[in-house]
Amino acid sequence: MLDIKFLRENSDLVKENIKKKFQDEKLELVDKVIDLDKKTRTLKAEGDNLRSERKKLSDEIGLLFKEKKVDEANANKEKVKEINDKLSGMEQEEEELNKEIRKIMLTIPNIIDESVPIGKDDSENVEMERFGDPVVPDYEIPYHADILEKYSGIDKDASGRTSGNGFYFLMGDMARLHSAMLAYARDFMINKGFTYCIPPFMIRSDVVNGVMSFAEMENMMYKIEGEDLYLIGTSEHSMIGRFKDQIVKEESLPITLTSYSPCFRKEVGAHGIEERGVYRVHQFEKQEMVVLCKPEDSMDWYKKMYEFTVEFFRSLDIPVRTLECCSGDLADLKVKSCDVEAWSPRQQKYFEVGSCSTLGDAQARRLGIRTKGENGTYFVHTLNNTVLATPRALIAFLENHYQKDGSITIPKSLQPYMGGMEVIK
């Protein structure tokens, strides 16, 4: 969420940013907010004058009674009552205006970084760099669901009976491989100096509204019936929410955290849920990284964070590339974002396995996360990035380690988490 003062003083810049994100329907909201803000400030100024007048009259009442000027004192009391009645109505109007301003401000997109490429949607994202050779073997790589079934590693018929479409049972070596990758991701980030955390898997609506846009919430979040609780779509939600309404010590910045959680998503949209596979599902598990830092350090951390993900996948012998998200593909709170995509030898193309974003002070402003330095109190910057989201990463692993004889090799980095196993046969 933008600062209302910033919007007031930079309305043309805000409108230009809206155009860059191809959300022209929101242009009129800028002028509407400015008009509402003007009314609010006028009301506040009038209210302050009335409060000043009330104080003056109240101070006089006692003196008038002492001087036995009862009629004048009672007249002042009547004026104070009239002022109180008027203030009550003005304060209610001011509160309603502020609510309307906040509601609109929550829908106006954050100012994107000047380096973000301009484009309408993800088809115009820009490749940044490739890491590792995208090999296409001289033998066929089966569909990942077929590999899993070959190893008796998946049961979607049973999950259909227990939970419906979009869920799965993982079993045996495939379930072990899934957990091994998560454990390795945890230790990988701990070794980078991040503090490990397991957060709550449900959060309140005020936290949801603080970490994401309303449109995202509607398409992603599962609401707990009868409770002010939502299932998290990623542990970033809980991790950032942990600092709600807090003033963190400036000397503690940057705060670097890595968190494990299951993730739950409705996945509403045209892409749909996979019938057989596990690429797009309602439930998955993830190792995340979250950073809170000073504003001047956020871009440095942004680069470090996606590089950690690249390093992680390369340590698993999986070729990846980084893809810069264009303006139209950025969620409203994001300043800059890039995807990490893994190579699929079966499809002979890359697919998304993680995303890194810096959100500036948007989440911190919504949630009231501040720090105090020499120049006063200010909002921190927040960043998040996927270390590993599986079963998507499991798909990339199976395809890139599937051998001609049907076996699956285990790279050295993962072998300690698989009981020393070098190959799954």
| Residue 312 three-state SS | helix
Instruction: Identify the pLDDT of residue 317.
Output: 97
3-state helix/strand/coil string of 194-240 = CEEECCCCEECHHHHHHHCCHHHHHHHCEECCCCCCEECCCHHHHHH
| pLDDT score, position 268 | 63
The arithmetic mean of pLDDT across residues 87-112, rounded, is 93
Domains of the chain: 4-105 (1.10.287.40), 122-424 (3.30.930.10)
Whether residue 232 contacts residue 264, with contact meaning beta carbons closer than 8 Å, is answered with: yes
Q: What is the pLDDT of residue 67?
A: 80
CA atoms within 13 A on the CB side of 126: 13
The angle that helices 27-66 and 70-105 make with each other, rounded to 10 degrees, is 160
Whole-angstrom CA distances from 283 to 119, 168, 204, 262, 341 are 31, 9, 19, 7, 20
The answer, yes or no, to whether the previous bond of 254 is cis (omega within 30 of 0) is: yes
Q: What kind and span of H or E run contains 307?
A: helix 298-315
Separation CA 180–CA 166 (nearest Å): 23
Confidence grade of residue 238 (pLDDT, cut at 50, 70, 90): very high
Angle at 318 between CA 315 and CA 324, to 5 degrees: 100
Mean pLDDT of 318-339: 97
Tokens found for residue 271: 């892409």
Q: What is the mean pLDDT of residues 104-115?
A: 95
How far CA 370 is from CA of 8, 77, 100, 108, in Å, comes to 22, 43, 24, 22
Q: How far apart are CA 316 and CA 321, in angstroms?
A: 14
- End-to-end Cα separation, the chain, in angstroms: 52
Average pLDDT, the chain: 94
d(CA 2, CA 109): 8
pLDDT in tens, 340-357: 999 999 999 999 999 999
Closest by Cα among 385, 389, 379, 372 to 301: 385
Report the distance separating Cα 224 and Cα 89, nearest Å: 37
Residue type for position 41? R
DSSP state of 361: T
> What is the per-residue pLDDT across 348-391, written as a single tens digit (0 to 9) for each?
999 999 999 999 999 999 999 999 988 899 999 999 999 999 99
Per-residue pLDDT band at 271 (split at 50, 70, 90): low
pTM of the model: 0.90
Residues 180-201, mean pLDDT to the nearest whole number: 98
Q: Tokens representing 22?
A: 């191809």
* Per-residue confidence band for 212, with pLDDT thresholds at 50, 70 and 90: confident
Instruction: Tell me what pLDDT residue 217 has.
Output: 77
